[in-house]
Amino acid sequence: MSEKQKGILVVVSGFSGVGKGTIMKKLLEEHRDDYALSVSATTRSPRAGEIHGKSYFFVSKEKFEDMIEKDELIEYAQYVGNYYGTPKEYVFNQLNDGKSVILEIEIQGALKIKEQFKDTKLLFITAPSAKELKSRLENRGTETEDVISFRMNRAVEEAEEIEKYDYLVCNRNVEEAVSKVHTIIQNCRFNNLDEIKQDLIINNTEYINQMRSELKDFSKGE
């Protein structure tokens, strides 16, 4: 495969419960030849249906800290009391094979990667409204009210960082969101940036400000 076909590095972040995992799963199912989803290492416990080595590399805190010491991670961060990080070897191998590598990680890690790899594209996925976001968290059925409240409060903080991203995707329904993510990445890869101007963060400030306002109202219990 020629050098011009080398994949690009893409980081996808978004509020907890927004549907990032579902979007990434369908994107890879529909465009398997174009993408590889980086598998993160984490110290959190597996959720129902998650598979070691496919969903995450589930490791102990001691193992994770050993990986940090050996410089085996592109980035790592702590979120809700657990470590998350991106192993280097898998990412670089996939890029060289011509696949764009998508990292589904939190904001801290995304910004660290952007610092190291300037050409990385950052996509932020959001829900249509704060009410819908809370509903999706509740419908998971895996978290207590305290955890849901924590995640909604965390979303208030995350919303303040959105302008540090390149592109915005609103997950109104999964099929449209998958199509939008694919369109953005492919146009970035082949430098057709005029085609996706409408998706730039800077062209969606009205929506972002509205979402911030709604999230703050929810955090106050309004």
Annotated binding site for ATP: which residue ranges? 14-21
Annotated binding site: 14-21
- DSSP H or E run through 68: helix 61-69
Q: At a CB cut-off of 8 Å and minimum separation 6, what does 164 contact?
A: 107, 111, 114, 122
* Beta bridge pairs of residue 37: 102
Among residues 38, 55, 34, which one has the least CA distance to residue 100?
34
Name residue 128's amino acid: P
Instruction: Measure the CA–CA gap between 135 and 176, rounded to whole angstroms.
Output: 20
